[in-house]
Structure 1
């Protein structure tokens, strides 16, 4: 079976021997057979000590917003609608963040200021609980009415250093912290082929 669960395990499961498999195999089998895994099935699969609050095997859905952050000179935000949802395997999402999915957003990127890291029409996932300018990293920021995806560094005078990866065309700038709003930290990038 392509789920990686042996015929013997399937046979034992059909006979009600829930101890015949582990949580990972149960989830893989449910996904392979396009079956929901929840309630009693999940409790039975968790009898080997796995957490009982696992999401369904279909994956954790993350909202994709009709918003683009500029990797250039700034993109105005006129609306923020959820236009789609992307599914992420729960174990993969757990490796990215422990933040609840309701605090995660996926938005598009426009422009070339973050090349080669991010290109025009790539997408990024933001953790909107991470809004401190006390840490360096890749963030989506708002100043004025525009959203920007940029690296953040601390400047010596207490201001914020806004850095583009395409340094030849977009030199770093310094701004007062009060002028910059952090929308979220970039924790994942989706690249266009």
Structure 2
């Protein structure tokens, strides 16, 4: 703290006054360790003043979110969407504890938008879904996956069949799926929906 103050050409007493504290506040903190830690607001104001991270002044590291890329891909819950490639259009942070609970690994997840109504009522047109790209093996009971069928990216319920994955729509009124092999891209592990 003394080095930072000297660099800015100010004193600990002047900084204490800036914080609205008595003149000895920061001097006692530096020399006697009293208080043991700076008040959170005091630490924030000093970090802003010095242009440093609060950790330099004894603050705990800020818990960053688990970053998941948002892909310019629409997984159709309808007739299907053709995809030329996966283009990253940004990233969203999800809570690291949630990422751990979902079993996500860095670089193995993506966020994509649902299009269409074939997966209603569970997934609605416009919903954002988190897809775990490392999970590609469906069980016998069926789970929601992003798949590619005949070059078209879709979100469907997929079960393990005798000759490979079998995809179905949740909405009974949805049109039939193409009669082609199902390529599993990743399992849908989380739904991000704005209030309607």
> Scaled by the length of structure 2, what TM-score is found?
0.65
Asked whether the 8 Å contact 2:78–2:174 carries over to 1, the reply is no
| 1:140 CA displacement | 0.3
* Equivalent position SS for 2:101: helix
Q: Deviations over 1:67-118 (max 9, x none)?
A: 1010011110023211111011211221121x31211100111000001111
| 1:59 CA displacement | 1.0
1:161 and 1:109 map into 2 onto residues whose CA distance is 20
How large is the Cα RMSD of the aligned pairs?
3.3
| 1:38 CA displacement | 7.1
- Write the mapping of 1:53-72 to structure 2, written as runs, cut at 5 A: 57-72=63-78
Taking structure 1 as reference, are residues 189 and 142 closer, same or farther at Cα in structure 2, changes over 3 Å only?
Answer: same
Asked whether the 8 Å contact 1:36–1:56 carries over to 2, the reply is no
Taking structure 1 as reference, are residues 120 and 38 closer, same or farther at Cα in structure 2, changes over 3 Å only?
Answer: farther
Taking structure 1 as reference, are residues 69 and 162 closer, same or farther at Cα in structure 2, changes over 3 Å only?
Answer: same
Gaps of 5+ in 2: 1-34
Question: Between Structure 1 and Structure 2, whose CA radius of gyration is higher?
Answer: 2
Q: Deviations over 1:7-53 (max 9, x none)?
A: xxxx53339xxxxxxxxxx9xx99xx9996879969xx6xxxxxxxx
Asked whether the 8 Å contact 1:162–1:175 carries over to 2, the reply is no
Segments of 4+ in structure 1 off by > 4 A? 33-42, 173-176
Equivalent in the alignment of 1:188: 190
| 1:130 CA displacement | 0.6
2:156 and 2:170 map into 1 onto residues whose CA distance is 8
Q: Within the alignment, does 1:139 sit opposite 2:163 as a pair? A: no
Count of aligned positions = 153
Asked whether the 8 Å contact 2:145–2:188 carries over to 1, the reply is yes
1:182 and 1:39 map into 2 onto residues whose CA distance is 47
Taking structure 1 as reference, are residues 37 and 181 closer, same or farther at Cα in structure 2, changes over 3 Å only?
Answer: farther
- Write the mapping of 1:29-178 to structure 2, written as runs, cut at 5 A: 57-97=63-103, 99-134=104-139, 136-155=142-161, 157-170=162-175
| 1:125 CA displacement | 0.7
Q: Within the alignment, does 1:14 sit opposite 2:31 as a pair? A: no
| 1:121 CA displacement | 1.0
Taking structure 1 as reference, are residues 56 and 76 closer, same or farther at Cα in structure 2, changes over 3 Å only?
Answer: farther
Asked whether the 8 Å contact 2:166–2:182 carries over to 1, the reply is no
Equivalent in the alignment of 2:8: none
